[in-house]
Amino acid sequence: MNPSSILKSIYQHPQLNSAASEEIIKAHKKVFFKKGEIILKEGQQSNAYYCMESGLARAFAVNSAGKDITTSFFSPGNVVIEVASLFLRVPTEENIEAVTACECWKIDFSDFQALFEKIQGFSEWGRTWMTNSLLENKLRSLHMITDSAKERYLRLQKEQPLIIQQAPLKQIATYLGVTDTSLSRIRNEVAKEH
Amino acid sequence: MNPSSILKSIYQHPQLNSAASEEIIKAHKKVFFKKGEIILKEGQQSNAYYCMESGLARAFAVNSAGKDITTSFFSPGNVVIEVASLFLRVPTEENIEAVTACECWKIDFSDFQALFEKIQGFSEWGRTWMTNSLLENKLRSLHMITDSAKERYLRLQKEQPLIIQQAPLKQIATYLGVTDTSLSRIRNEVAKEH
DNA sequence: TGAATTTCTTGCCCTATGACAAGCGTAATT
DNA sequence: AATTACGCTTGTCATAGGGCAAGAAATTCA
């Protein structure tokens, strides 16, 4: 199976030459998930991560009241991963689920770890990836504080329109930190304004 | 100047032996900041990070309305760092400020980078540190969504009492995502309940 | 196809929190 | 001591968004 341009773009980095990124890419295998399929379940230990080729997935946490809160969405070009469980080698407290049918490139932790130590520049690649994740997360917290529900919705619509189109309202609502009722009203209001 | 036990504990990691951590620690120099002093200013590029020995610092972002929002606090044992600017080599969009007088161990990026490539296991140390930061940030977003203002205050009080004691109310308020007025009322209410 | 189930919308009312403004205590400045 | 400044509290009122429940619409399944 040929590696896709998406997979190549994920491993694009100033400190990874083409031989290195090719070797990394070779360690990935194509896998598929059906709509609704659980990719990682709370309590399990994560032993791999996935590069998203097509489809949409989400991570969610279940709070004490049994309510599920979407904590992130994974679109094509994103790395589908539960960082804490994978790198700290502990059971995950989150779930990852395929929102639509997904096509992914899987790499096992043991293969990743071997390449991480072997390949010059792979740790810098990882550091850059982590840095960007951290940045995104910080922005998410910040917007949660400074922006209204409507502003958060509009930002998501602008920056990640595919999520709005593909995920059910309830999942988007918990991701934005509002109830589904409120999001429905916001959506209505936005539609009225054209 | 002798490295402190705090500094040693920061560089404690299964994949760093004592010779390695000692070499890393040697690259740090003691620096002091006065109360209110700016450690990193928006627009600058970060070229170092600091291990907090004593005192309290905070990072804050200034939004378009000119309002400052505390995005994190740094206590003894924490690493005072603006990850995005330091690792992506870009100007920072955040400020870091000493809330009280601070005593820190500084390491320059160039020294860090040289050790990162030289020392076996240092990249795993960094990955673990990043993983924990990411985890903390995700929890912060999650609690912002699931918990009430009062619950967020009580959690901070329980988990980081020094912040409550040392930082002015307004800074804590923006960190928790409430107005200073509301936080004052919450505090009053909590005091009444003993 | 029709029944069952899930998802989304809407109405009504309520509560937590925000906006603004005034007051108060403490500490530094003269 | 009076003055200013700062940080915190409190009052009044306004409002975004939540809780709950009834439908409507869409999807799934038998």
Give first-to-last CA distance, chain A, whole Å.
44
More confident residue, A85 or B192: A85
**Alpha-carbon gap: B20 to the closest alpha carbon of chain A (Å):** 17
Interface of B with A in 35-94 (CB under 8 A): 61, 63, 67, 69, 71, 83-84, 87-88
**What is the topology classification, in CATH, of domain B5-119?**
Jelly Rolls (2.60.120)
Task: Please check whether residue A139 is in contact with residue A37, taking contact to mean a CB–CB distance below 8 angstroms.
Answer: no
User: Of A61, A116, A134, which is closest to B83 when you measure between CB atoms?
Assistant: A134
Compute CA distances B100 → A83, A141, A182, A186, B54, whole Å.
Answer: 34, 25, 42, 43, 9
Helix (H, G, I), strand (E, B) or coil at A184: helix
The pair of structure tokens assigned to A100 is 């639509």
Q: What share of chain A is helix, strand, coil (3-state, %, to 5)?
A: 50, 25, 30
Quote the percentage of chain A above a pLDDT of 70. Answer: 98
Quote the percentage of chain A above a pLDDT of 90. Answer: 93
Per-residue pLDDT tens digits for A21-58: 999 999 999 999 999 999 999 999 999 999 999 999 99
Is the CB of residue B134 less than 8 Å away from at least one CB of chain A? yes
Place of tokens 């090719």: A22
* Strand D lies under 7 A from the Cβ of residue A69: no
Segment-wise mean pLDDT, segments of 10 residues, chain B, 194 residues = 84 96 97 95 97 97 88 98 98 97 97 95 97 98 97 97 96 98 96 81
The CA radius of gyration of chain A, in Å to the nearest whole number, is 18
Domain residue limits, chain B? 5-119
Confidence of residue A3 (pLDDT cuts 50, 70, 90): low
Q: Please state the rounded mean pLDDT for residues A131-149.
A: 97
Q: Mutation test of the interface with chain B: which of A81, A134, A144, choosing the one with the most B Cβ atoms within 10 A?
A: A134
Q: Residue A194: what pLDDT?
A: 63
What's the distance, CA B61 to chain centroid?
A: 14
Q: Residue B63: what pLDDT?
A: 81
Per-residue pLDDT tens digits for A100-111: 999 999 999 999
B136 CB-near residues (< 8 Å, 6+ apart):
none
Q: Please state the rounded mean pLDDT for residues A170-193.
A: 96
Q: What's the CA gap between A115 and B1, in Å, rounded? A: 39
Residues 121-150 of B with CB under 7 A from strand C: 148-150
**What is the topology classification, in CATH, of domain A5-109?**
Jelly Rolls (2.60.120)
Place of tokens 């009053």: B188
Count of alpha carbons within 13 Å of A174, Cβ hemisphere only?
20
Contacts of A142 in chain B (CB under 8 A): 61, 69, 71
